[in-house]
Structure 1
Amino acid sequence: MSRAWVFPVLTAALATGIVALLGATITVTGPWYDHLVQPHWAPPDRAYAIAWTIIYAINVVALVTGWHAMRTRREAETFIALWATNGFLNILWSLLFFRLQRPDWSVIEVIFLWLSVGSLITYCWRRSMAASIVLVPYLLWVTFAGYLNMTIVRLNGPFS
């Protein structure tokens, strides 16, 4: 790995690790979560950790690839701002669903999370098709998670 890649890789890994750590810290399951009615097609709990680990690894690859593809400082700053927004929305979803126990609020928030992933894919497309393509599984995962979230709200609501 050349020196030009070391800083972006370390920065991307650190930033993604912080988002993952904060999300994991906020995600507290327990009696409340265990008593939620889940749809029959919901994955087992252990599958979420595996899926998110893969998603975060994909994010590091896409972040580094996209960062190197940006042609100007302004493009790079916009790209980083989109990533930071996505990280914030990712953490916010966990806060709303698990910590505040408001799946009804998180089903609204997941729309913004989905749009943030879509905007990353769109922004990268002309600069790095590879970064865009690598993000598609993340978009698919958020789509699935949003549908699962909506189903949980329908099966368990109302929440207060």
Structure 2
Amino acid sequence: MTQSNNTGILEKFVNTVMGVKTENQQQPPDTSIATTQALDIRAVLVYKLGTFLQIAAMTLALLGMEKLVMLIDKNTHLPSWFSTLLAVLFFALLSIRSRIFSPLDNTRSRKTYDQVIRPRWAPPPLVFPIVWMIIAVLRVISSVLIWQQMNHQFLALPLILFVVHLALGDTWNTIFTVERRLGAAVPVVILGPWLSAVVVTAIYWQTNPVAGMILSVSCIWLTVAAVLVFRIWQLNGSEPLYPLKLTPVEK
């Protein structure tokens, strides 16, 4: 009983930190299904526009932080560690809640993962927010190291690529978790979160080897996630690898 209670407390804590909605908090079930093999061009445009706007918003946030830290560093009345604390908090916000910058619905939930057919080796649902919380910490540490290496510049290529990576991950979450487009999720997870993670890790490594080494853990996890998404797609009908037009279901 005690072990069960501890597990429940851990799950509640992790879900709260990572913003994962449990079954009792779910939104009303989706009432749309794919009835044709037609490409949903509108959805493609929405994904692209939403991703672009999120990248733009986070880039502006980087610029704003750079201006703020410049003022702080020039203020001799503030301790030298104050700007570092702000950088840590800022990168923590990006790593855990980057979706607040997105115009798309990036709701974190277990609904899709709980309902689809999964391979036997698939991790239990609780593993995902725990691993992402660990990766968020590693992202903060590595990004702060890069920020320090760049002389407190936020608007630097490695950090801009980092926010691009976060935006691509949020868009994938919309496609897979929110809209349950299992086919479209396969190429997007490979060309989006996985590929961008490899690029960002390489750039981080080139800028600061320790930062790149720390961030490389996310590449390992995203490789596992990409394989899992592919297997889920195979086990659930292998729909076309693009977003299908959805038709509302009559109640």
TM-score by shorter chain over 0.5: yes
TM-score where L is the length of structure 1: 0.86
Which residue is 2:107 aligned to? 26
1:105 aligns with 2:184: yes
Q: Do the aligned residues in 2 keep the contact of 1:67 with 1:79 (CA within 8 Å)?
A: no
CA RMSD of aligned residues (A): 2.5
Instruction: Give the match's secondary structure for 2:165.
Output: helix
Aligned partner of 1:115 in structure 2 is: 195
Determine the C-alpha separation between the residues in 1 that align with 2:174 and 2:211. 28
Task: Name which one, 1 or 2, has greater alpha-carbon Rg.
Answer: 2
Question: 1:2 matched to which residue of 2?
Answer: 81
Instruction: Measure the CA separation in 2 of the matches of 1:88 and 1:35.
Output: 26
The equivalent position to 1:90 in structure 2, one of 169, 187, 206, is 169
Identity percentage over the alignment? Answer: 26
Structure 2, unaligned stretches of length 5 or more?
1-79, 245-251
**Greater strand percent: which structure?**
2
The structure 2 residue matched to 1:126, chosen from 206, 211, 224, is 206
Q: Partners of 1:16 and 1:89 in 2: how far apart?
A: 13
* Count, aligned residues: 158
Runs of at least 5 residues in structure 1 that lack an aligned partner in the other structure: none
Aligned to 1:50: 130
Which of 109, 114, 137 aligns to 2:217? It is 137
How far apart are the structure 1 equivalents of 2:88 and 2:152?
19
Structure 2 CA distance, aligned partners of 1:147 and 1:14?
A: 28
In the TM superposition, residue 83 of structure 1 has moved relative to its aligned partner by 1.1
* Aligned equivalents of 2:195, 2:85: Cα separation in 1: 30
